[in-house]
Structure 1
Amino acid sequence: MVKETMTAVERMEAAVRLEPTDRIPCAPLMDVYFPARYKGWTTAKGLQNMRAGFSAIVDIFD
């Protein structure tokens, strides 16, 4: 396993600046489409109500 020499923030900032990183940065796709459907909602409910959408995202990772 490669030893990490950068923090997650340093890694993402370097990648955005197109500079070398210690490994490829990865960020999960955080949208409301799957979480809303998983909770039995319409996508519209998740998109129109920010608190409900965020709650759905948190719930699928809990």
Structure 2
Amino acid sequence: MGWHFAARGEHGWAIACRLVPVGVLAGFASSSATVMAVTAGAGLGLIWLAMVSARVRASVDP
């Protein structure tokens, strides 16, 4: 999705699409430390998925 947004000139979305997965993976990687890390990582991923889906849906011509 980062490439998609970069090609459209939406650089903020492109950068976020590249950084959010790092946060999700960090949450899962630190799962041995606390359950909240996994919860935060999963929550971040699901919220980001919803935001990107809504953004792409809004940009599609009806």
Same fold by TM-score greater than 0.5: no
Which protein has the larger Cα radius of gyration, Structure 1 or Structure 2?
1
Structure-1-length-normalised TM-score: 0.29
Higher helix share: 2
Q: Could you state the TM-score of these two structures normalised by the residue count of structure 2?
A: 0.29
